[in-house]
């Protein structure tokens, strides 16, 4: 099969990956594509059942140094990688059992449902303040003005970042997320590590019942969480919890603007906000494919052998439109029930922040509909620019009018 038939890596595909995935799912649901540049083989999975199977099978793992023979692992180990990144690499999404299990149990203790629920008034306050600045504007950018700052302020609060460092935090995440020039990224990591070390020391002097405080307590109690792991955890919470939520708010708002009947229904019946958020996650979710996993041995899925050492890329966006699981999958229906989407992944790496993401999405969209009654798109949908990332599915900007 030629790459042009399924141009999964093309930049242009990011605006509408579903068209390509629909063809793949029908014609070649387990499809090996050669990565441009790297030459690695990436196996794309587009059927719901296969995606879940791969995510639950721990023969597909993360830590190549441990899971693959050295001759295969070395394809993926970059000798010139800057040591600065070591401080942030040992996090959940790069680890397998038993390290993953140990760290996940620890962060679970720090990230309780009660702690998430207690954030509600603060998230509401942040949303109100941001939306106030957007009211009555002829030109606004829903991403820059609302979707981007909201989750970063929430995470910064949870980690106890001082308000005067919020902009710095925002700058570091932007650089680290959008793969800026290497020297800028190295500087950002070094500044980030220095600042988080200071925060940790502050928590050591004075305990606070926030997420960072709980993690520091775990380290002190000798529950086998070392300093590098703690640093990497903070980095992961920041990165995994940020742009994903930006995309939920951005993609979700675009869907409502493109489906005025559904927007009117949601305004008329605000209690539909919960199923509406689930449908936004399903229909045009924030994560396109999961992070990479490697076949640690030859594994057969759906009758296809995935050779040891190859990379698998289960597509969450494709799985969530699979007609074998969803009735009329191409219809955006905020009353859909049941809705067994897998926008938060599956298996041991299932999103740790799902309850927080749902809470943020619910408050953001609900408050936006209340405070911006005249919200309208200020561009052609075809002119919208989408991020290049194959992992995170979202727009660079969403021009709107609110007045």
Binding status of residue 343 toward ligand HEM by CB under 6 A: yes
Find residue 34's DSSP bridge partners: 41
Tokens of 225: 């969480």
- Measuring CA to CA, which residue among 293, 341, 289 is closest to residue 315? 289
Binding status of residue 245 toward ligand HEM by CB under 6 A: yes
Stretch touching ligand HEM by CB under 6 A, among 78-86, 199-207, 337-345, 382-390: 337-345
- Measuring CA to CA, which residue among 208, 203, 206, 211 is closest to residue 112? 211
For ligand HEM, the closer of residues 155 and 402 by Cβ is: 155
Q: Distance between CA atoms of 334 and 340, rounded to whole angstroms?
A: 14
Enumerate residues 62-101 that contact ligand HEM by CB under 6 A.
92-93
Binding status of residue 344 toward ligand HEM by CB under 6 A: yes
Task: Name the one residue in this structure whose structure tokens are 């935090």.
Answer: 169
Q: Distance between CA atoms of 162 and 202, rounded to whole angstroms?
A: 11
Q: How many residues lie near ligand HEM (CB under 6 A)?
A: 26
Find residue 305's DSSP bridge partners: 300
Binding status of residue 240 toward ligand HEM by CB under 6 A: yes
- Other CB atoms closer than 10 Å to residue 113's CB: what's the count? 9
Sign of the CA dihedral with 141 first, then 147, 150, and 152 last: negative
Binding status of residue 241 toward ligand HEM by CB under 6 A: yes
For ligand HEM, the closer of residues 20 and 236 by Cβ is: 236
Enumerate residues 121-160 that contact ligand HEM by CB under 6 A.
155
Binding status of residue 230 toward ligand HEM by CB under 6 A: no
We find the least distance from the C-beta atom of residue 278 to ligand HEM, in angstroms, to be: 11
We find the least distance from the C-beta atom of residue 152 to ligand HEM, in angstroms, to be: 11
Binding status of residue 365 toward ligand HEM by CB under 6 A: no
Q: Distance between CA atoms of 324 and 26, rounded to whole angstroms?
A: 11
Which residues would be at the binding site for ligand HEM (CB under 6 A)?
92-93, 104, 155, 236-237, 240-241, 244-245, 248, 285-287, 290-291, 316, 343-345, 349, 351-353, 356-357
């Amino acid at each position: 099969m030629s790459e042009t038939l399924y141009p999964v890596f093309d930049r242009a595909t990011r605006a509408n990956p579903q068209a390509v995935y629909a063809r793949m799912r029908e014609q070649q649901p387990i499809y090996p594509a050669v990565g441009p540049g790297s030459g690695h083989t990436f196996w794309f999975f587009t059927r719901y059942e296969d995606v879940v199977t791969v995510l639950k099978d721990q023969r597909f793992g993360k830590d190549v140094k441990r899971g693959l023979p050295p001759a295969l692992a070395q394809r993926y180990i970059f000798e010139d990688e800057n040591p600065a990144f070591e401080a942030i690499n040992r996090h959940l999404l790069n680890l397998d059992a038993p390290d993953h299990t140990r760290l996940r149990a620890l962060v679970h203790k720090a990230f309780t449902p009660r702690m998430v629920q207690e954030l509600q008034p603060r998230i509401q306050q942040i949303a109100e303040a941001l939306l106030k600045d957007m009211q009555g504007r002829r030109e606004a950018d829903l991403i820059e003005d609302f979707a981007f700052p909201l989750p970063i302020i929430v995470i910064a609060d949870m980690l106890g970042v001082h308000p005067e460092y919020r902009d710095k935090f925002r700058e570091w995440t932007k650089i680290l997320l959008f793969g800026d020039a290497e020297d800028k990224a190295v500087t950002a990591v070094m500044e980030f590590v220095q600042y988080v070390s200071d925060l940790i020391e502050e928590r050591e002097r004075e305990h606070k019942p926030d997420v960072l405080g709980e993690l520091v307590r775990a380290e002190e109690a000798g529950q086998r969480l070392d300093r590098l792991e703690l640093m990497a955890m903070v980095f992961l919470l920041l990165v995994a919890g940020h742009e994903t939520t930006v995309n939920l708010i951005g993609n979700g708002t675009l869907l409502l603007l493109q489906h005025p009947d559904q927007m009117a229904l949601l305004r008329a019946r605000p209690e539909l906000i919960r199923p509406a958020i689930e449908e936004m996650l399903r229909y045009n979710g924030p994560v396109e494919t999961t992070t990479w996993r490697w076949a640690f041995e030859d594994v057969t899925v759906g009758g296809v052998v995935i050779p040891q050492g190859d990379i698998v890329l289960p597509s969450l966006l494709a799985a969530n439109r699979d007609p074998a699981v969803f009735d009329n999958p191409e219809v955006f229906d905020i009353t859909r029930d049941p809705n067994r989407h897998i926008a938060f992944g599956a298996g041991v790496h299932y999103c740790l922040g799902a309850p927080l993401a749902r809470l943020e999405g619910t408050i953001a969209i609900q408050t936006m509909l209340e405070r911006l009654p005249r919200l309208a798109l200020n561009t052609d949908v075809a002119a919208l620019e989408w991020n290049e990332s194959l992992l995170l599915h979202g727009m660079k900007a969403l021009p709107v009018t609110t007045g």
